[in-house]
Chains A and B, each alone.
Chain A
């Protein structure tokens, strides 16, 4: 019964070209045809018809719009996932004084009160391969006042008291797997939170196209984009605490942490103002993408630590339009 409705020859594979208007009886369904070639052919015909109808509809709408002229309704804004994002109740209101008090008394307060100067220790997991080593060196040029040390199989829980004794404020551990860096543990030192990220899309300097020269020693500016929720605020402050407070604008360098859909993109650029409104940028330095896996309250302690936030995929990733940062 299927296949009779079209009336065209469906016996051979090529088939005659589809007529302008194909009549499908209402009960016809392409999937009922057992023969694959015929089914494929019918499906293609159906698809072409759908496309034609859609095009006709568009044309009609455009004509109507032109006919209305000024009175035409404004164009509808297309829906994107960022538009449709589920409102997160932990979004920080800038006037919220409780959050302000919380932030004034948390672990980053000494940094934001300019009582401490950031001093970063960058290390890797044990026995890093060349790519990770080069990445760490480049990261050290990007972050001022940072030192790279070889791991030598030492336990992090032993490194941390030594770092605190030597006045380090942050510890970055780049985890490596199969010769590429794939994880980042960022721990604020005296007793501060530890964030564990998954790192992806790491591009070293030589892999970046159209890059500029080496970054200079000037302190870069920091841009933190789109950290709206309370958790995002905490992470944003962690990143901000890596860089010294006063950027040197002479250097014209800027480090950007851009959060979109829970992925944090790091870029390092040099900018130059060509005129009042036009800026040219040159990408220097490494680039990578981070995704937060967990935020732990004290310093690194994977066994007995208390977590402020853990990403639980099955519970938290139920909606495509819900983001946490």
Chain B
């Protein structure tokens, strides 16, 4: 069959080994059986686990990577290596949220805002901090209003905070009514997203529920409460358009759920393990997903699997680049300088990546320089498949 090669231009994936991998590149066409993206990482021993957020701090656009050792580094997408970073101590546990102009949240509930300047000494404290309650699972920043964050966790319901007023949350959600046995329904918000264009927040829980909250309405209970499957829902993404949401579970069941009625519109198949990260493309009907089965998958929202890339470690988080156009038809063979994208975007306030330069630039620090697979152009950039192992 003639494949319509969707060019995967730069998906950033964080792995459990601490590696940050970039997928795709304007020069390489990701066809049916591509190899893994090139692993771009500074020092293999340093990190263990990562979470990725849009960059723009510490000078220059890039990708923020948070690691288990509580350091937040910026990977500059222009220079192709880690530039700057700082240690963000305080609280216990791993990061559960990263935001621009560096907001960090850890599992013990401590949300801190750090300055944009690269701290020379670690002792420079946070600019602002707030306590969101223990057992935090996720913190996200509203892309429209960067001073507003939402937090949710285990037995820690959804709260929307204003970073300038750390004492009281703007909105504190209420649990649903007792179930048919008159027992309290347990709360475990695993992932949440702000719906663009309104103040509403959609959450997915560890008990398989998808809930929609509306802080602007007087109702503190969820407006919509839908159940999907039995397994915990671990990841959530919003496709273009306002009325549906893609959720992924710990068993690898991924579905598109309608937010108007709470019904499953479509199931996405092919996952062998739990899904850890999901993100939809802002314009095209594509969703990228990343999980514990070590694969990065790109599905169309009609359910068809477009691409599957094997990345060798268990993957924890994912970030898409939306600056480049993802052309569906195969591009004419142009030399890469014509594909250069403008680099002057500064801090992006929503989950989109900053611009990515051409892959021809020398990407320093790559441990295994990827070779192209039969491609005469042979770019040495990230993400061009090294081919089958052992050549």
List chain A positions with a Cβ less than 8 A from chain B.
Answer: 87, 89-93, 95-99, 101-102, 105, 230, 297, 303-310, 312, 315-316
A315 and B17 contact, CB distance less than 8 A: no
B314 at the A/B interface (Cβ < 8 Å)? yes
- In the complex, the chain B residue whose C-beta lies closest to that of A94 is B390
Q: Which of A87, A98, A304 contacts B250 (CB 8 A)?
A: A304
User: Can you add 4 more A-B contacts, CB < 8 Å, to A98-B39, A304-B250?
Assistant: A304-B232, A306-B232, A306-B234, A309-B272
When distances are taken between beta carbons in the complex, the residues of chain A under 8 Å from B234 are 306
If A93-B390, A98-B39 touch, whether A306 touches B312 (CB-CB below 8 Å) is no
B216 at the A/B interface (Cβ < 8 Å)? no
A97 and B367 contact, CB distance less than 8 A: yes
Cα of A230 to Cα of B274 in the assembled complex, Å:
16
When distances are taken between beta carbons in the complex, the residues of chain B under 8 Å from A303 are 230
When distances are taken between beta carbons in the complex, the residues of chain A under 8 Å from B232 are 304, 306
- In the complex, the chain A residue whose C-beta lies closest to that of B308 is A89
B273 at the A/B interface (Cβ < 8 Å)? yes
When distances are taken between beta carbons in the complex, the residues of chain A under 8 Å from B388 are 87, 89
B35 and A307 contact, CB distance less than 8 A: no
Count of CB-CB pairs between chains A and B under 8 Å:
72
If A304-B206, A306-B292, A308-B293 touch, whether A96 touches B389 (CB-CB below 8 Å) is yes
B11 at the A/B interface (Cβ < 8 Å)? no
B251 at the A/B interface (Cβ < 8 Å)? yes
A297 and B312 contact, CB distance less than 8 A: no
6 pairs from A and B in contact (CB 8 Å cutoff): A87-B388, A93-B390, A306-B232, A306-B273, A307-B292, A312-B252
B368 and A316 contact, CB distance less than 8 A: no
A89 and B294 contact, CB distance less than 8 A: no
When distances are taken between beta carbons in the complex, the residues of chain B under 8 Å from A309 are 272-273, 293
Cα of A307 to Cα of B249 in the assembled complex, Å:
10
If A90-B294, A102-B17 touch, whether A307 touches B274 (CB-CB below 8 Å) is yes
CB distance from B368 to the nearest CB of A (A): 7
Cα of A99 to Cα of B294 in the assembled complex, Å:
11
When distances are taken between beta carbons in the complex, the residues of chain B under 8 Å from A99 are 312
List chain B positions with a Cβ less than 8 A from chain A.
Answer: 16-17, 19, 33, 35, 39, 44, 48, 206, 230-232, 234, 250-252, 269-270, 272-274, 292-294, 310, 312-314, 367-368, 388-390
B17 and A101 contact, CB distance less than 8 A: yes
CB distance from A85 to the nearest CB of B (A): 14
Most interface-central of A307, A309, A315, A316 (chain B CB within 10 A):
A307
When distances are taken between beta carbons in the complex, the residues of chain A under 8 Å from B270 are 315
- In the complex, the chain B residue whose C-beta lies closest to that of A311 is B272
- In the complex, the chain A residue whose C-beta lies closest to that of B367 is A97
A96 and B312 contact, CB distance less than 8 A: yes
Q: Which of B17, B19, B206, B389 contacts A93 (CB 8 A)?
A: B389
A308 and B292 contact, CB distance less than 8 A: yes
A307 and B251 contact, CB distance less than 8 A: yes
When distances are taken between beta carbons in the complex, the residues of chain B under 8 Å from A310 are 251-252, 272-273
Cα of A94 to Cα of B86 in the assembled complex, Å:
35
When distances are taken between beta carbons in the complex, the residues of chain A under 8 Å from B312 are 96, 98-99, 102, 230
Most interface-central of A90, A101, A306 (chain B CB within 10 A):
A306
When distances are taken between beta carbons in the complex, the residues of chain B under 8 Å from A98 are 17, 19, 39, 312-313, 367-368
B272 and A297 contact, CB distance less than 8 A: no
Most interface-central of B234, B250, B269, B310 (chain A CB within 10 A):
B250
Most interface-central of A87, A98, A99, A312 (chain B CB within 10 A):
A98
Cα of A316 to Cα of B252 in the assembled complex, Å:
13
B292 and A89 contact, CB distance less than 8 A: no
When distances are taken between beta carbons in the complex, the residues of chain B under 8 Å from A89 are 33, 35, 310, 388
When distances are taken between beta carbons in the complex, the residues of chain A under 8 Å from B313 are 98, 102
- In the complex, the chain A residue whose C-beta lies closest to that of B270 is A315
CB distance from A35 to the nearest CB of B (A): 47
A105 and B17 contact, CB distance less than 8 A: yes
When distances are taken between beta carbons in the complex, the residues of chain A under 8 Å from B293 are 308-309
CB distance from B217 to the nearest CB of A (A): 31
